[in-house]
Amino acid sequence: MEQSSKDFMPIPINEFSKGIVIPVDLFIRIGDEKFILVAKATTQSNVDQFKNYQSKEVTYLWVRKKEFYKLTHQAMSMAGISLTKKDLNDKQKTTLITHAARSMFRQLEHLGMDMEFYNHAKQITQAVLGLVESNRSFSDILLSLNGYSDALLPHSIAVSSLSVMIGSSMGFEKRATLEKLALGGLLHDVGMKAIPVELTTKSIASMTTDEIQLYETHSFKGMQMLNSIGIVPDDIVSIIYEHHENSIGQGYPQRMRDVKMHPLAKVVALSDGFADLIIPNVNCPVPKNPREALMYIEYTLGIPYNREAFRALKKAIEGKKKAGAA
């Protein structure tokens, strides 16, 4: 099958550790459109081989875009395993989370977002990650998410960045407001820690009625957790409590309609739903590309989210001129 450069994305060669099983095929680039396979999926990384490439001024290895999420998943899993080691200090733990977050940012970057919105969102989210990592109460929560589920931390980072993208596209200009969106997105699923871990491996469609009711308590549990810390702004607490509400009153836990939702929760609710469509998870094992996800929300779901936020998301994905009225 013919492949072009648009099918691949680069990864710095020095990000591959010795002896790690590589989950994807790796290539080196020869010319504009020619890629040569140098390591097959499921084989161990050969650092000596990679150093030899570096000596020949090869600074990047290339992976297929459609498979990059496997590297992101591996980075998060490795961070989770390492974070359980008792001999790691806080700085080392922070480094692991930062590396994993960088992997998630790279995945988002290559999904076709408007780069102006994306770069702004990345800067805000990175700043908020730094603030969270420097606050022991927040960092403990963030680190525990990674230990609870491999999928939860990358999803939270994605929701954080997407929320800032939408907020920026809506015209939110105050940095404090965008940072609240980033922090609310990052912590929106903290209540999942109170849910039996086995439920994280089940799709919503396969849950019993009792399991669904238990699962839907996580937004209330999250609100309780953050209130117990005592230093979390009310806006953030509202985001955590309302991030599964929707504009048509069919969300949870309160079944409230759009007009009663907190303005920032409307944004995070959409980001959460959109991230579930573009990042592999138990409910969507085969992810959609961003434009497919937009069409699914608009035409299949009928836009059950805030319309202004959805138009802003379209603008951030399709470009300022293409996004029409939703």
Task: Kindly report which listed range (106-110, 162-166, 180-184, 217-221) carries the lowest average pLDDT score.
Answer: 106-110
Contacts (Cβ under 8 Å, ≥6 apart) of 314? 294, 322, 323, 324, 326
Task: Label residue 150 by pLDDT band (50, 70, 90).
Answer: low
**Average pLDDT over all residues of the chain:** 83
Burial grade of 160 (CB within 10 A; 0-12, 13-18, 19 or more): buried
Report how far residue 216's alpha carbon sits from residue 213's, in angstroms, rounded to the nearest whole number: 5
Average pLDDT over residues 52-79: 76
Question: Is the CATH number 3.40.50.360 carried by domain 88-318?
Answer: no
pLDDT score recorded for residue 123: 83
- Asked whether the predicted pLDDT for residue 83 surpasses 90, the reply is no
Beta strands 8-12; 60-64: pairing state: antiparallel
Average pLDDT over residues 65-79: 67
Contacts (Cβ under 8 Å, ≥6 apart) of 318? 291, 294
Task: Kindly report which listed range (50-59, 130-139, 156-165, 182-191) carries the lowest average pLDDT score.
Answer: 130-139
Task: Label residue 280 by pLDDT band (50, 70, 90).
Answer: confident
- Asked whether the predicted pLDDT for residue 316 surpasses 80, the reply is yes
The pTM score is 0.76
- Asked whether the predicted pLDDT for residue 308 surpasses 50, the reply is yes
Strand partners, 64: 8
For the chain, the domains span 5-68, 88-318
